[in-house]
């Protein structure tokens, strides 16, 4: 019985690798990411959040 489960897991892993290899790389990625303007007037600060996403903080 354990051999059957092992074979099923190996089959799923092989099929997953095949699907990942067949997909185009970078599909859905942003084509052009421009940097922030150099002069923000001191009212906006851009920082990287804890989750790695950029966060814009606006000062009044």
pLDDT at 7: 85
pLDDT class of 16 with cuts at 50, 70, 90: confident
CA angle 18, 8, 5 (to 5 degrees): 155
Q: What span, in angstroms and rounded, lies between the C-alpha atoms of 36 and 47?
A: 11
Global pTM value: 0.32
DSSP 27: T
């Amino acid at each position: 019985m354990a051999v059957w489960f092992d074979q099923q897991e190996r089959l799923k892993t092989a099929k997953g690798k095949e699907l990942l290899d067949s997909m185009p790389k970078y599909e859905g990625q942003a084509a052009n990411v421009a940097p922030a303007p150099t002069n923000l007037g001191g009212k906006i600060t851009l920082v990287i959040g804890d989750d790695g996403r950029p966060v814009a903080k606006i000062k009044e």
